């Protein structure tokens, strides 16, 4: 079974701010795997942690968000 994280937990694990996580969600760089039925909290899993690590590495290399979006779209096509 995969681990499940809320936004604040994901932020703590990846050291990516909640604001940035929400921005990446808006851009489609990451996706939630589900939501709670009553409170509508977003759920994420280990694949999101890996994706955020990859995005963070690219950003540290100076790669712009548009290029990161293209790379992620390319990965999805494989």
pLDDT tens-digit series, residues 4-34: 999 999 999 999 999 999 999 999 999 999 9
What's the predicted TM-score (pTM) here? Answer: 0.88
The C-alpha atoms of residue 9 and residue 52 are separated, in whole angstroms, by 13
- H/E stretch holding 30 reads none
Say yes or no to pLDDT of 2 above 90.
no
Full domain range(s) for residue 57: 4-77
Q: Any idea what the CATH number is for the domain that residue 24 is in?
A: 1.10.1660.10
Q: Please tell me the total count of domains within the chain.
A: 1
- Residue 24's nearest CA partner among 74, 3, 58, 37 is 58
* Span 42-57, pLDDT tens digits: 999 999 999 999 999 9
> What residues form DSSP beta bridges with 42?
35
The C-alpha atoms of residue 30 and residue 22 are separated, in whole angstroms, by 9
Alpha helices (H) in 1-78, listed in sequence order: 7-14, 18-27, 46-60, 65-77
């Amino acid at each position: 079974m995969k681990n499940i994280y809320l936004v604040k937990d994901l932020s703590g694990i990846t050291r990516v701010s909640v604001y940035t996580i929400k921005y990446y969600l808006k851009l489609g760089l990451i996706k939630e795997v589900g939501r709670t039925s009553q409170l509508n909290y977003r759920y994420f899993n280990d694949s999101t942690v890996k994706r955020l690590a990859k995005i963070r590495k690219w950003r540290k290399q100076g790669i712009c968000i548009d290029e990161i979006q293209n790379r992620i779209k390319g990965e999805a096509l494989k």
